[in-house]
């Protein structure tokens, strides 16, 4: 984690465009800056493989849907989280990021199983996430 008073947030975004990763994270970046974070933005999980940068990162905000993560990238993310770096995300940007990696799913404690339709008062369908969590 970073030393001193400046906090660093790494925003990793990309993958499936249906979750609007750039637009979604662009809504949060000003909030992070207003709360004293210097924000770095990456468009792939390769940022996790930079051990020096990850050691200076206080918070990872991930919005990356249906991608893949290489073992060296996951090792960097896992090491940072174990060292105290926060990990945040929402919906498919974290719970449906790297489906094929059981180690990643163990790190976040769950996965997105499906998105099912629901109905609103107007009768139009909207997506609602269904997630599961694992224990033990």
Claim: this prediction has a pTM higher than 0.85:
no
pLDDT in tens, 50-87: 999 999 999 999 999 888 999 999 999 999 999 999 99
DSSP β-ladder status, 59-65 and 37-42? unpaired
With cut-offs at 50, 70 and 90, classify the pLDDT of residue 38: very high
- Helix, strand, or coil (residue 127): strand
CA distance 52 to 73: 13
């Amino acid at each position: 984690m970073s030393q001193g008073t400046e906090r660093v947030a790494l925003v990793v975004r990309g993958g499936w465009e249906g979750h609007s990763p750039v637009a979604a994270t662009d809504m949060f970046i000003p909030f992070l800056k207003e709360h004293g974070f210097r924000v770095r933005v990456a468009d792939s999980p390769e940022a996790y493989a930079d051990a020096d940068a990850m050691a200076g990162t206080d918070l990872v905000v991930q919005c990356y849907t249906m991608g893949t993560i290489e073992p060296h990238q996951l090792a960097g993310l896992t090491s940072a989280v174990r060292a105290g770096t926060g990990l945040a995300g929402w919906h498919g940007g974290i719970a449906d990021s790297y489906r094929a990696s059981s180690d990643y799913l163990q790190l976040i404690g769950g996965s997105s199983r499906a998105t099912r339709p629901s109905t609103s008062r107007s009768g139009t369908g909207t997506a609602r996430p269904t997630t599961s969590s694992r224990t033990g």
